[in-house]
């Protein structure tokens, strides 16, 4: 399903060891937030899964003070993304790579922008692949 995203201002933690370090990066990010409710979380991969940079991100809200958290701020680039949902994603982590590969095979990829995991809820994950 085609999705046009706006630019998204985020605070982020860069994972050590790329996507393998995603859980630790999210744990660090979440530990410094006063609440997780009504927050939008993203996992962003810049480059290839085995060698790229993975960022655990949360959209900046009006009540945030990014400087006080020590988090890096960044903008997730908007544009055209092909999107697919994974339900009950925590029990299906192995599907993230497979869904990503499937979308790239079918639609191609704009390698100038990152791939995005949008954690819509504890049950719903949306994979967004940038397309031209």
> CA dist 45 to 49, 62, 92, 111, Å?
7, 26, 19, 11
- Cβ-count burial 2-15 (b if 16+ within 10 Å, e if not): eeebeebebbbbbb
Q: Residue 40: which CATH number?
A: 3.20.80.10
pLDDT of the residue at 59: 97
Which domain range does residue 124 map to?
Answer: 2-130
pLDDT for 57-81, tens place per residue?
999 998 888 888 889 999 999 999 9
pLDDT for 76-126, tens place per residue?
999 999 999 999 998 998 888 899 999 999 999 999 999 999 999 989 999
Nearest to 115 by CA among 89, 59, 77, 88: 77
| Total-model pTM | 0.93
> pLDDT higher for 18 or 77?
77
Per-residue pLDDT, averaged over 15-24, amounts to 91
What contacts 29, CB < 8 A, 6 or more positions away? 11, 12, 13, 41, 56, 57, 58, 71
> pLDDT higher for 34 or 118?
118
Number of domains in the chain: 1
pLDDT for 35-50, tens place per residue?
888 899 999 999 987 7
89 neighbors 123 (Cβ within 8 angstroms): yes
């Amino acid at each position: 399903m085609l999705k046009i995203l706006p630019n998204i201002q985020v605070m982020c933690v860069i994972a050590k060891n790329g996507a393998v370090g995603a859980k630790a990066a999210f744990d660090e990010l979440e530990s410094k937030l006063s609440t997780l409710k009504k927050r939008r979380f993203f996992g962003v991969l810049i480059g290839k899964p085995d060698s790229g940079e993975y960022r655990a991100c949360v959209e900046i809200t009006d009540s945030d003070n990014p400087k006080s958290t020590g988090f890096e701020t960044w903008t997730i680039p908007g544009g055209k993304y092909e999107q697919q949902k994974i339900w009950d994603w925590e029990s299906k982590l192995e599907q993230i790579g497979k869904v990503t590969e499937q979308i790239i095979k079918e639609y191609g990829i704009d390698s100038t922008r990152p791939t995005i995991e949008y954690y819509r809820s504890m049950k719903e994950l949306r994979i967004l692949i940038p397309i031209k």
